[in-house]
Amino acid sequence: MPPIRRSRDHGHLTRRQLLNAALGAASGVALSSCGWTLANVQTTVRTDPGLLYIYTWAGYTDNALLDSFYQETGVRVIADVYSSNEEMLAKLQAGAGGAYSVIYPSDYMLQKMVRLNLVQQLDHARLVGLDRLFSKFANPQYDPNNQHSLPLSWGTTGLVYNKNVISPPPKDWDYLWDNKDQLFRRMTLLNDPREVIGAAIKSLGYSYNTTNPEEIRQGYERLVELKPAIASFESDSWRPQILTGDLKIAMCYSADANEVAAENSDLIYTLPSSGSSIWTDALAIPKTAPNTDAAYAWLNFMLEPEVAARTCERLSFATPNKAAFQVLPPDVQENSSLFPSEETLTYSEGLTPIPIEIEELYDLYWTKLTSS
């Protein structure tokens, strides 16, 4: 789900830098004095009412956001970070539920966590601003009536390319296969089995969420055909490579594409015409949250239009908050990378949970693909 970003001084380490730092740091060492810690610290129950521990994606908070919340509430936020939904789930299942009061699951993972009884049902009487959401986020398919979560950000998965070196421009996923000789070792795909296999499946005319083993096998075999031309499977480190020209095209998330395009206006993001995935990242409260009062304060804070709008601008989020959208500058509102038209989204779909035996099939194909 995210080099130093020269165009946007977030005041924090990127996910890639955090992971690199983790390799050389002892477990439990703070990364800075501003509320950042390694995601693999030893967790304990944290009951201090003046502290709020959140577990989030790297790049989803910055010092300005944490400081603003502290000034408004007197509660200091400590942010631990993770690099995948699965990493977050594994940690909570290993006993970290009592460590965090707010987590940031993606839509499909939230559904899974609800089924596992890992998150609280929200008390809407304690929330201020639910009526500020766009209608499609007020009753999302992944969490009807936002019973267990608040939508924080949304976006799409697509392709970013350099318009000066790619000709003709890509219109659909098929472009990668049709031009694999031109793109040989100059393209990357995400390090994400559902997204990558899903895109191959979508290029064949099937659903991103198919549970048909034969369709999944066809998607895998299509990727085997493309594999020799793929430089690597990367969710983050494609950024410096495409900025330096080492890559011509990369599969990426829209928010990441928007940030890297700010550093080089020749980089263009496109949503494949046959459709892609639409993702939503949400805020939820674990069942065993140690500081529920502060958690609700954080949720209400993130619903404030000015807060949501500033976060959208600084951190390159597409906001689901209509009131926040209305106070964004026109150039952000009209940014099609962040806010694509409904027509453009016609054939795209959100990822949904799949049965465990299908998950295992994806994992099997992914291991074969990435290890061969």
**How much is the pLDDT for 128?**
97
Write out pLDDT tens, residues 108-155. 999 999 999 999 999 999 999 999 999 999 999 999 999 999 999 999
Q: Please tell me the number of Cα atoms within 13 Å of 184 on its side-chain side.
A: 3
**How much is the pLDDT for 353?**
83
What percentage of the chain's residues is helix, strand, coil (to nearest 5)?
40, 15, 40
Residues forming beta bridges with residue 151, ordered by sequence position = 282
**How much is the pLDDT for 59?**
78
Residues forming beta bridges with residue 81, ordered by sequence position = 56
* pLDDT at 7 > cutoff 80: no
Cis preceding linkage at 330, omega within 30:
no
Place of tokens 């944290």: 46
* Side-by-side strand order, sheet with 36-37: 36-37, 76-82, 51-57, 102-103
Distance between CA atoms of residues 292 and 315, nearest Å: 26
pTM over 0.85: no
Place of tokens 């970013």: 160
Q: Residue 72: count other Cβ atoms within 10 Å of its Cβ.
A: 13
Distance between CA atoms of residues 168 and 175, nearest Å: 9
Write out pLDDT tens, residues 340-365. 999 999 999 998 888 989 999 999 99
When pLDDT is cut at 50, 70 and 90, the band that residue 257 belongs to is: very high
Write out pLDDT tens, residues 68-110. 999 999 999 999 998 788 889 999 998 876 889 999 999 999 9
**Which candidate, 76, 87, 88, 16, places its Cα nearest to that of 51?**
76
**How much is the pLDDT for 46?**
62
* pLDDT at 18 > cutoff 50: no
**How much is the pLDDT for 97?**
65
When pLDDT is cut at 50, 70 and 90, the band that residue 306 belongs to is: very high
In contact, 372 and 207? CB cutoff 8 Å: no
Write out pLDDT tens, residues 200-236. 999 999 999 999 999 999 999 999 999 999 999 988 8
In contact, 129 and 304? CB cutoff 8 Å: yes
Beta carbons within 8 Å of 224's beta carbon, 6+ residues apart: 369, 372
Domains of the chain: 15-149+284-303 (3.40.190.10), 156-278+341-371 (3.40.190.10)
Mean pLDDT (the chain) is 87
DSSP letter string over 15-38?
Answer: HHHHHHHHHHS-TT-BS-SSSEE-
